[in-house]
Amino acid sequence: MPETISILIDGRKVVAGKGDNLLKVARDNGFDIPGLCFYEKISATGDCRLCMVKIEGRPGMVPACLVEVEEGLRVTAFDEQLEATRKMLVDVLLSEHNDDCITCDRDGDCSIQDLAYRYGLDTEKRTFAPIWRQTPQFSDTTAPVLWYDSSKCIKCERCVKACREIQGKGVLSMSNRGIHSRVVAGLENWAASECDGCGECVQACPVGALVEKPVYGERMRLKNVQKKVVTTCPYCGVGCQLELWIKDNAIVKVKGADQPPNSGATCVKGRFGLDFVNHPDRLKKPLIRKEGKLVEAGWDEALDLVASRLKEIREEHGPGAIAGLSSAKCTNE
Ligand code: SF4
Ligand code: SF4
């Protein structure tokens, strides 16, 4: 257990563990400090600078995501200057970001869109011209399950770190410099890389630069989703918790649910392998072979038949004649 210390944020006493991340501590205590590159599951990057705060005794503004709290820290999270600086930074980021929300799968589920609303940065109220239009753009659609669009990428590196630090794979890196920088998979493209399609990078992306391909039948936007259901992944024995996004009683997207044992992560099977659920050929009732033909039956009838046949085999040939077969989807086999 870390030593407990107390700090002041905007004059309010907050108790935290010594060395805890200041941005996380502030947010956990209700201070809604913005930040696009910060993602609790990976190491802090300090790229976007939106979480700038003032700390008594330290010059200028410092990104809260890079500060470890210590006893007696006196923090200003909100004042006119900080908010004006944040607004200007969002304005700059928006100038590098293709904000054609109408065609974006993340419309309504996008962190930079939320900040544009928060700071009143409608298109006509922005100071900086849309520089992304003059910058050569790049897209990678070669992966079977996702695509990348550099015109929407805000270069936060959350995807790069999610792949490396959460999944332990290190497939992604940033290529080029400044406004020309972009995400690259492997040495060439996603299809030629070591990517196994787990989709952790998609889940970490705060905007629409990395999105799932429509693996569940249609392009998915938050406003299409009618409900979200948390369930246990039907594949291996880890028991990862998945959040299913549902429309018209069909799964349209899967995210790792942020709870044990997976804490939001999932592998390719959990995220993209549930298409069998709504597949028209899926077996939903047991079949019993009668006179050479498979005929639909009730569960009681099928289970009684299996039990009686197993009993007969054991009585006739002994227990060594019975073996078991198991797999991730055995119940459907
Ligand atoms: S899908 Fe998974 S393995 Fe592939 S780049 Fe993204 S995080 Fe890495
Ligand atoms: S693809 Fe998304 S997560 Fe990756 S750097 Fe760009 S904006 Fe950030």
Walking along the chain (333 residues) 10 residues at a time, the average pLDDT comes out as: 92 97 98 97 95 96 97 97 98 93 88 96 89 91 95 96 97 92 95 96 96 82 89 90 94 94 95 91 91 95 96 97 79 51
Q: From the CA of 73, how far away is ligand 1's center (Å)?
A: 38
In degrees, to the nearest 5, what angle opens at C-alpha 297 toward C-alphas 292 and 298?
160
How many CA atoms are closer than 13 Å to the CA of 324, on its beta-carbon side? Answer: 4
Tokens of 27: 């947010």
Query: How far is it, in rounded angstroms, from Cα 33 to Cα 24?
Result: 9
Index of the ligand 2 atom closest to the CA of residue 172: 4
Q: From the CA of 261, how far away is ligand 2's center (Å)?
A: 26
Query: How far is it, in rounded angstroms, from Cα 196 to Cα 202?
Result: 13
Query: How far is it, in rounded angstroms, from Cα 328 to Cα 270?
Result: 11
For the Cβ of 16 lying below 6 angstroms from any atom of ligand 2, the answer is: no
> Residue 330: its pLDDT value, please?
65
Q: Are 108 and 74 in contact (CB under 8 A)?
A: no
Q: Are 174 and 185 in contact (CB under 8 A)?
A: no
For the Cβ of 200 lying below 6 angstroms from any atom of ligand 1, the answer is: yes
Return the best residue to mutate from 183, 190, 203 for the ligand 2 pocket (most ligand atoms within 8 A of CB).
183
Query: How far is it, in rounded angstroms, from Cα 212 to Cα 199?
Result: 8
For residue 27, give the nearest of 58, 65, 80 by alpha carbon.
Answer: 65
pTM: 0.88
Q: From the CA of 250, how far away is ligand 2's center (Å)?
A: 28
Index of the ligand 1 atom closest to the CA of residue 210: 6
For residue 201, give the nearest of 153, 239, 237, 246 by alpha carbon.
Answer: 153
Q: From the CA of 105, how far away is ligand 2's center (Å)?
A: 15
Return the best residue to mutate from 157, 171, 190, 203 for the ligand 1 pocket (most ligand atoms within 8 A of CB).
171
For the Cβ of 204 lying below 6 angstroms from any atom of ligand 2, the answer is: yes
Index of the ligand 2 atom closest to the CA of residue 152: 7
Q: From the CA of 315, how far away is ligand 2's center (Å)?
A: 63
Query: How far is it, in rounded angstroms, from Cα 161 to Cα 45?
Result: 9
Q: Is the peptide bond before 286 cis (omega within 30 degrees of 0)?
A: no
Query: How far is it, in rounded angstroms, from Cα 119 to Cα 316?
Result: 78
Q: From the CA of 116, how far away is ligand 1's center (Å)?
A: 28
Q: What is the DSSP letter of 162?
A: I
For the Cβ of 207 lying below 6 angstroms from any atom of ligand 2, the answer is: yes
Backbone phi and psi for residue 182, each to the nearest 5 degrees, phi listed first = -155, 165
> Residue 333: its pLDDT value, please?
45
Task: Indicate the Cα dihedral angle 15, 18, 20, 25, nearest 10°.
Answer: 10
Bridge partners of residue 246, in order along the sequence:
227, 251
Tokens of 332: 């459907």
Residue with the smallest CA separation from ligand 1 atom 3 is 195
For the Cβ of 241 lying below 6 angstroms from any atom of ligand 1, the answer is: no
Residue with the smallest CA separation from ligand 1 atom 4 is 195
Tokens of 271: 């995220």
